[in-house]
Amino acid sequence: MMNSFFADMHIHIGRDIFDKPVKITASKNLTITNILIEASRNKGIKLIGVIDCQSPNVQLELKQLLEKGLAYELEDGGIRFEEVTLLLGSEIEVYDENCKGPIHVLCYLPNIKEMEQFSEWLVTKMKNITLSSQRYYGSAKELQYKVKELSGIFIPAHVFTPYKSLYGKGVRHSLEEVFDPDLIDGIELGLSSDTSMADQIKELHSYTFVTNSDAHSLAKIGREYQEILMEEPSFKEFNYALQLVKGRRVVQNFGMNPKLGKYHNTVCDKCLSAVKPNSIKCENCGSKKIVKGVADRIDELGNFKGKVEGRPPYLYQVPLEYLPKLGPKTYTKLLESFGTEMNIIHHVPYEKLVDVVPENIAKSIILMREGKLLIQAGGGGKYGSVSET
Ligand SMILES: [Zn+2]
Ligand SMILES: [Zn+2]
């Protein structure tokens, strides 16, 4: 029997079991255990990918959860904790002679055993595997082969961001320059793009798009996610959904309006004022450092106009905490009344929301459910914002 499940497949870890940093810029309370608790109890997300699992101390923390009987490994891959299934992933920075610049990719493996084997191999290719998103010294294709040898899933990450991505910075024009296209299982869109933007690039048409939070804190889990139709949340079923096996598929992507992403517009790096796509100088301050926005970059690369058959809808959303006037107190009240964030965003009817929160907040939750929130564009590393009306 098929069912639908919400999934966020790109979440970082801030600290390991010994309180040592994993992703240095991430929150200190972002441990694997806290992520599992937050996803299961507050967010209501059924499948998560944590992409710093190559770190041996993270594996140790997971093994302790298994030993204590708080979690268990699934036969089809993944670790179940309460209501959520964890897929073990690793974000890696590739930079071989074909890359001409660093590219982030996401690798997911079925279980702890495979992730340990992957870590053993990575040690020979990386300076420090205990930290997040480290540079890997080897060819991109060799990494793809290793992931496939271990029955893993390979997905280029946030492919349009100006830094550390496949199409960013304007140095690459095609994924074939770097990767074996047959060994790519999906494409992660990233916060500043959506399906219709990405579909302007023909070579992406055959891949499933995934939309993930890239969360550096507990609150940001579920900032972007997808709804997947599958039999149960597991590694095998997620893989099936990416490959469209027997009806499994992503049925809906949920993400921030690309205008909310911090690299949507082309702007001056110094004063952040908007500049035209091909300017070499900022008219406002004269600086020559221009950060090309994702929208202009896609315009440049685009070789297709129109809609691609069979793509799931992309619905604009933000996490509840982004809604104007929705402070921590209201957030807690909502959770106490309705359980999880996913339930509040997708299911609780207006009449029930207004029993708990003021009318204007209940209205913005409904507007968000329908993808109708108004947005102010971001650019140059500055996030966009949700308008108050
Ligand atoms: Zn990244
Ligand atoms: Zn990341």
At 341, list the tokens.
């964030």
CA-CA distances (angstroms) from residue 328 to 39, 313, 322, 356, 385?
18, 31, 11, 14, 18
Torsional sign, CA 207, 222, 348, 194: negative
Residue 25, SS3 per DSSP: coil
pTM given for the model: 0.93
Q: HSE-up of 74 (CA within 13 Å, CB side)?
A: 22
Q: What is the pLDDT of residue 375?
A: 65
Q: How far is the CA of 262 from the centre of ligand 1 (A)?
A: 14
Nearest ligand, CA of residue 163? 1
Q: HSE-up of 45 (CA within 13 Å, CB side)?
A: 31
Distance, CA of 161 to CA of 159 (rounded, Å)? 6
Distance, CA of 79 to CA of 88 (rounded, Å)? 8
In tens digits, what is the pLDDT along the chain, a chain of 389 residues? Answer: 999 999 999 999 999 999 999 999 999 999 999 999 999 999 999 999 999 999 999 999 999 999 999 999 999 999 999 999 999 999 999 998 888 889 999 999 999 999 999 999 999 999 999 999 999 999 999 999 999 999 999 999 999 988 899 998 767 788 999 999 999 999 999 888 999 999 999 999 999 999 999 999 999 999 999 999 999 999 999 999 999 999 999 999 999 888 877 788 888 888 888 888 888 889 899 998 888 888 888 888 899 999 999 999 999 888 888 888 889 999 999 999 999 999 999 999 999 999 999 999 999 999 888 888 776 666 777 766 776 54
pLDDT tens, position by position, 31-45: 999 999 999 999 999
Q: What is the pLDDT of residue 377?
A: 65
Nearest CA to 378 among 305, 237, 246, 272?
Answer: 272
Pairing of β 84-94 and β 79-81? antiparallel
Distance, CA of 234 to CA of 78 (rounded, Å)? 5
Q: How far is the CA of 182 from the centre of ligand 2 (A)?
A: 23
Q: What is the pLDDT of residue 221?
A: 95
Nearest ligand, CA of residue 168? 1
Distance, CA of 290 to CA of 272 (rounded, Å)? 9
Nearest ligand, CA of residue 89? 2
Residues with CB under 5 A from ligand 1 (ion): 104, 157
For residues 139-148, one letter each, b for 16 or more C-beta atoms within 10 angstroms of the residue's C-beta and e for the rest, the string is ebeebbebbb
Q: How far is the CA of 164 from the centre of ligand 1 (A)?
A: 7
Q: How far is the CA of 289 from the centre of ligand 1 (A)?
A: 22
Question: Which run of H or of E encompasses 230?
Answer: strand 225-230
Output the CA torsion 205→211→212→214 (10° steps): 70
Residue 208, SS3 per DSSP: coil
Q: How far is the CA of 149 from the centre of ligand 2 (A)?
A: 24
Q: What is the pLDDT of residue 309?
A: 92
Q: How far is the CA of 219 from the centre of ligand 2 (A)?
A: 15
Distance, CA of 23 to CA of 20 (rounded, Å)? 10
At 331, list the tokens.
């957030």
Distance, CA of 91 to CA of 94 (rounded, Å)? 10
Could you give the angle at which helices 140-149 and 112-123 cross, rounded to 10 degrees?
150
CB atoms within 10 A of CB 29: 12
Torsional sign, CA 354, 356, 358, 361: negative
Are 107 and 9 in contact, with CB atoms under 8 Å apart? no
Rama region for 283: left / alpha / beta (φ>0; ψ in -120 to 50; rest):
alpha
